Amino acid sequence: MVYLIVALAIAARFIPGAANFSPVYAALLFGGVYLKKRDSIWFPVVLLAASDILLNTLVYNTPFEWSQTINWVGFAAIVVVGWWLAKRVSVRNVVAASIAGPTVFFLISNFAVWLGSGMYPPTLGGLEACFAAAVPFYGNSLASGVLFSGILFGAYQVYLKKAERRQLAVQ
């Protein structure tokens, strides 16, 4: 079930909407908590890489650039935040992780844009300009991370409680 949730969240990238507003950040955290640890990075990152290639070639008609692979490192970093969350799932910690995940991704992905896109000069000022230009996307990442984490983690807790009650009723 967790694998399906992660796959569906990544498939949601194909639904038009606000840039960086999707359940992907929440699904990566969720996967970091509930997927088998050995699968928690490779499974979503392979799906994300495939969706990047499809989106770039079929939807956006843009070439695939090496610097985009650094985004996959950013996605993997969100899973690692999920590993931290795994042993301490609570409302407060889910909120903290749903802010930390997109923040880590923001730092990694925009550093990659500055480093590899040629859009910004290779100076501290260029790095600052790159991060400043990305702030609107970061806001969407934070909003979607918190919203969808609340939905995913909340719904899963409800599911677990119902399953526990069913189990008790059977005994």
Tokens at residue 154, please? 């909340």
pLDDT of residue 81: 97
The pTM (predicted TM-score) of the whole model is 0.90
Residues 52-64, mean pLDDT to the nearest whole number: 87
pLDDT of residue 75: 95
What phi, psi does 117 have (nearest 5°)?
-85, -25
pLDDT of residue 170: 85
pLDDT of residue 63: 83
pLDDT of residue 64: 79
pLDDT of residue 6: 92
Q: How far is CA 48 from CA 31, 45, 71, 109, 132, in A?
A: 13, 5, 10, 14, 25
36 pLDDT above the threshold of 90: yes
pLDDT > 90 fraction of the chain, expressed in percent and rounded: 74
157 pLDDT above the threshold of 90: yes
pLDDT of residue 68: 81
The helix or strand, by DSSP H or E, that contains position 117, with its residue range, turns out to be none
Domain of 71?
2-15+22-170
Q: Where are the alpha helices (DSSP H) in the chain?
A: 2-11, 24-34, 42-54, 69-86, 91-116, 124-170
Each residue of 124-149: pLDDT tens digit?
Answer: 999 999 999 999 999 999 999 999 99
Q: How confident is the model at residue 118 (pLDDT cuts 50, 70, 90)?
A: confident
pLDDT of residue 29: 96
**Mean per-residue pLDDT over the chain, rounded:** 93
Residues 43-55, mean pLDDT to the nearest whole number: 93
Overall number of domains in the chain? 1
